[in-house]
Structure 1
Amino acid sequence: MAVKYKAVKMNSPLKKEGKSEKYYPRVANRQKRTLRDVAERISETSTFSTTDVIGVLEAFTSQIPYFLKDNCSVELGDLGTFSLHISGEGVDDPEQINASKIKSVKMAFRPSTRIKEDLIKVDFRKIKK
């Protein structure tokens, strides 16, 4: 198992270096896995059927927004934490802040320490063009 990457030419954020374009590593040939793929993998490594796992994962998926909209962050043990973040228009007086000043709502995920440590051990393989 390895993460494949390639060199991609991009504008350098540091214009002081003279050259405006540099090559940066970017993940390549990423494949998408579905909820069913995850359920089948869990089923292979447990006593649960694929159908049971799909049911639990579908229910789980529907509950995350419920808790986030109830002003909660959702901590999932060794997986990590989901939370909502908002951004909006700045004003001079805190009394002017109201819901109409909120311009975007995003869900964030912060992986647990265990997940972060596991991802440090990833193998990388460069692909050819």
Structure 2
Amino acid sequence: MAVKYKAVKMNSPLKKEGRREQYYPRVAGREKKNLRDIAESISQTSSFSTIDVIGVLEAFTSKIPHFLKDNCSVELGDLGTFSLHISGEGVDDPEQINASKIKSVKMAFRPSTRIKQDLNKVGFRKIKK
């Protein structure tokens, strides 16, 4: 397995260098895997049918937002943890903070140490434009 990448011209974040544009590596040729693809892959390496796996994954998918909205982080063992993060409008007095000051809600994912270590072993292959 290798992650495909290509060179992409972008503005340099370091303007002091005197260069405006530089080339940076970016992941390319990414393929999507949907729930059914994942379920079929799991069923090939287990005693569960694709339909059984799809049912569990669908139920699992519907439960994550439920737990996040119930003020929980969702820890998935060696996969990682989902949690909610909010950002909002700043005020001078903490008494002025209320729900109307919250401007956005985002779901974050923090991969586990095992996943991070596994991803550090990824191979790369450059593709042509």
TM-score when scaled to structure 2? 0.99
For each residue in 1:94-125, what CA deviation from the matched residue of structure 2 results, as whole angstroms up to 9, or x when unmatched? 00000000000000000000000000000000
Match of 1:44 in 2: 44
Q: Secondary structure at the match of 2:100?
A: helix
**Distance (whole Å) between structure 2 residues aligned to residue 23 and residue 99 of structure 1:** 43
Question: 1:41 Cα shift?
Answer: 0.2
Q: CA RMSD in A?
A: 0.4
**Distance (whole Å) between structure 2 residues aligned to residue 20 and residue 75 of structure 1:** 42
Say whether residues 1:116 and 2:116 are aligned partners.
yes
Match of 2:73 in 1: 73
State the 4+ residue runs in structure 1 displaced beyond 3 angstroms. Answer: none
**Distance (whole Å) between structure 1 residues aligned to residue 107 and residue 82 of structure 2:** 7
Question: 1:9 Cα shift?
Answer: 0.3
Q: Secondary structure at the match of 2:31?
A: coil
Count matched residues. Answer: 129
**Distance (whole Å) between structure 1 residues aligned to residue 43 and residue 2 of structure 2:** 23
Question: 1:74 Cα shift?
Answer: 0.4
Paired residues for 1:1-129 under 5 Å: 1-129=1-129
Question: 1:43 Cα shift?
Answer: 0.2
Matched-pair identity in %: 87
Q: Secondary structure at the match of 2:39?
A: helix
**Distance (whole Å) between structure 2 residues aligned to residue 124 and residue 83 of structure 1:** 30
| Unaligned runs of at least 5 residues, structure 1 | none
**Distance (whole Å) between structure 2 residues aligned to residue 10 and residue 103 of structure 1:** 30
Q: Secondary structure at the match of 1:108?
A: strand
Question: 1:25 Cα shift?
Answer: 0.4
For each residue in 1:49-83, what CA deviation from the matched residue of structure 2 results, as whole angstroms up to 9, or x when unmatched? 00000000000000000000000000000000000
**Distance (whole Å) between structure 2 residues aligned to residue 92 and residue 20 of structure 1:** 39
Q: Secondary structure at the match of 2:41?
A: helix
